[in-house]
Chains A and B, each alone.
Chain A
Amino acid sequence: MASPSVRLDVRARSVAAWVRRGSGWVRRWYGANPLHLLALLAAFALAGYAVHAVAAAGQWTGFAEWFAVAIIGHDLLLFPLYSLADLSLRHLLPGGSHGRLPAVKPPPRGPFEAFQSAGSQPLDTKPAPGAAPAAAAPGAPAQPGRGTPAWPPLLNYLRIPVIFSLLLLLTFFPVILGLSAPELHRASGLGTGPYLWRWLGVTGVMFVISAAAYARNTRRAAARARRSRPKPPRPPQTHGGPAAQHKPLSHT
């Protein structure tokens, strides 16, 4: 004679098996844990309840339109536009798609090498000795021996102030372009006249800061390059030295 506890145990085991089978079936049919489905349905229910209130207020159409426009406007308009602008800027800048100036006089060791081999090699990787001649391949606008300083990549010193400026415009275009002038004046008695000038001013300041940072970094890098230049590797008229051959492979 089975005791009640054993009977209960048997029943619990069969229930557990049933749940396992059921969840396995949902997993196959649905593609995830049943809880995944439950959680998503709960979220949809909450959102649906909120949207129902908008519909009850008779504003459903505009609401849905703006939701759609927000997604499409960002994913299929704003994103492709700024990506295209960024790609164009990178290709327009001397140095090709990576925004580096051509290695007019590639510097010796130090940060420049790092700049020019950016990312493709770890910092401590020096071009293999055999690779150097190959890197100085035809087509590279190399003018060794001019003694002109080498330049850090210009790209970020251009696009950061541009991005900041465009972000300000994107955010405050109603006042910058005076589009909200009538409503703002009605509400506050204030005008939108100064905002355009402030935006231009802030943009100008950002470019000045960026230019100053670029000048400082160029000077620093050049100083570092001078300091770390090997002892007279060549006759003094070729200022470039052997480093002139440290061309990054990525530029060929």
Chain B
Amino acid sequence: MARRRRALSASAAAERRRAAALVRRATDTARDAARHPAEHPPPGPFRPGTWRSPLRGLWLTSVLAVVLLVGLTIVAVTGLLSYAAYDPLLGSNDTTPGANLLKFYLFTWPTHPSWWYRVDQGVHVTLGLALLPVVLMKLWSVLPRLFAWPPVRSLAQILERLSLIMVVGGVLFEFATGILNIQDFYVFPFSFYTAHLYGAWVFIAGLVIHVTLKFPRMVRGLRSRSLRRELRTPLAGTQPEEPDEAGLRAARPGLPTISRRGLLAAVGGASLTLAGLVVGQSIGGLARRTSLFGPRGLSATAPHYLPVNRTAASIGLTAQEVGPAYRLTLAGAHHLVLTYEQLRALPQQAVELPIACVEGWSYSARWTGVRLSELARLAGMPEPAGALVESIQQVGSWRAVTLSAGQVLDPQSLLAVALNGHILPWDHGYPARTIIPNAPGVHNTKWVDKITFLRQV
């Protein structure tokens, strides 16, 4: 009995000792954590063990990075060219005044080739959409680094992490505003032109520094594995990458649920799906019917319908404004006022030209009307420095546009009165509208009632 009690008390004492040791250890750990917070990440995403995907690694991130490096550069360049296409240095064309240093590259937008703007914006919008899955995948591949512990190691690292706001914030901001804009979903509390242009510059600043700092690492990443071998490796053979200098590979990788080639195929497939279900609106013809989600795609294929981005109803056009009382004023060396019938009696030309919207959609059509150069001659100024074209539309953007001399004098530039052999529909600018080769859609002013030929712009 006594022996048993002794044994019991001995086991109780051992229990107590063990408990005390546990408490001591816990206290030590806590004290240690307080003294050296760097080595004790808080729970959750800050613990390396939380991130389990065996596909994350420097190679995968580098492959996505090189795709984005090429793709986003094209999207940025086509975007900046689109800004140049608005000829912001002329008259009051600039919707984003200020920041003159960023306009260093501007040049007078040419009228040839007439398809340039159409292709530029088609590429900008469609390639942008195609890159969305790549951007999301790239962010997924580096997201553990957002929670890297300790968050700060040096001043250099603080600055570098801050610079990522420009890249990540910039790319998400540009994609969000662009994607909402092509669908006319104007929920943003700023002008699209201002925000999308200057947001792009913030992104470009971030991208340049990011590429500068990470390019050697990206090259090392690309060299760390063979793309050809990865494309031949099924799920069964998919191994985690080697631990890398960037800490992208999981500390304790789990089992893969998809091969690396499967992941890349999924991203590529998603890109092709997004772009493929839109691009028809930029190609036109039968391809327009494949554009299920392009806002001027399949929806804009009704017979005798050509898409517009501003309806007569939206500017409150009245029958009186375009009826017998309509007058076209030409101002130059002298003043000239024409009725609609007099305008139609002038020599008419027909041209086949595309209308291309900044939103990426475009279509080609046959326009008939009077050459702008002919109207300039009538106004007594056969070689103007430019022209200010004004619309009946009283308010809103693009009611007046300044054209360059090259645009006025191009033999394809018309004040059109007919579209595809029919009198202009109201939505297309009846009684008369300009059509300028290679100009952005909004620079083809509708419902024109005055053209002033300018000695200087």
Contact = CB atoms under 8 A, between A and B. Distances in A.
Contacts of B249: none
Interface stretch (B223-231, B293-301, B330-338): B293-301
Interface in B33-71: 54
Interface of A: 29-32, 36-37, 39-40, 42-44, 46-47, 49-54, 56-57, 59, 61-63, 65-68, 70-71, 73-75, 79, 90, 97-99, 111, 113-115, 117-120, 122-123, 153, 155-156, 160, 163-164, 167-168, 171-172, 174-175, 179-180, 183-184, 186-191, 194-195, 198-199, 202, 250
A90 B257 contact: yes
Given A43-B206, A54-B198, A198-B293, A163 B266 contact: yes
User: Considering residues A29, A46, A75, A163, which has the most beta carbons from chain B within 10 angstroms of its beta carbon?
Assistant: A46
21 contacts: A30-B155, A47-B166, A50-B102, A53-B98, A59-B189, A66-B188, A70-B173, A71-B165, A98-B257, A114-B235, A114-B237, A118-B255, A120-B255, A123-B237, A171-B129, A172-B183, A175-B293, A180-B185, A186-B313, A194-B298, A198-B293
B24 to A, nearest CB: 37
Contact of A122 (B129, B157, B237): B237
Interface residues of B, number: 89
A74 B277 contact: no
B184 A187 contact: yes
A153 B299 contact: no
B311 A188 contact: yes
B143 A190 contact: no
B23 interface: no
Contacts of A171: 129, 132, 179, 274, 293
A188 B190 contact: no
B238 A57 contact: no
B386 interface: no
Given A74-B168, A188-B184, 13 more contacts: A39-B213, A43-B166, A50-B199, A52-B99, A66-B188, A67-B170, A99-B257, A167-B133, A171-B179, A171-B293, A172-B183, A184-B184, A187-B310
Main secondary structure of the interface of A (DSSP, over half): helix
Interface string B187-222: 011110011001101101110110011000000000
A167 B274 contact: yes
Interface in B256-315: 256-258, 262, 266, 269-270, 273-274, 277, 292-293, 295-296, 298-300, 307-311, 313-314
Q: Which of A40, A73, A74, A99 has the most CB of B within 10 A?
A: A74
Nearest to B274: A171
B364 interface: no
B6 interface: no
Interface string B410-448: 000000000000000001000000000000000000000
Contacts of A70: 169, 172-173, 176
Which of B198, B212, B239, B308 lies at the interface centre, i.e. has the most chain A CB atoms within 10 A of its CB? B198
A63 B257 contact: no
A44 B205 contact: yes
Given A75-B143, A153-B257, A183 B185 contact: yes
A39 B190 contact: no
Contacts of A51: 198, 202
A20 B311 CA distance: 67
B54 A119 contact: yes
A115 B154 contact: no
Given A62-B189, A175-B295, A114 B184 contact: no
A54 B311 contact: no
Contact of A187 (B146, B236, B309): B309
B27 interface: no
A47 B205 contact: yes
A71 B161 CA distance: 13
A71 B169 contact: yes
A180 B238 contact: no
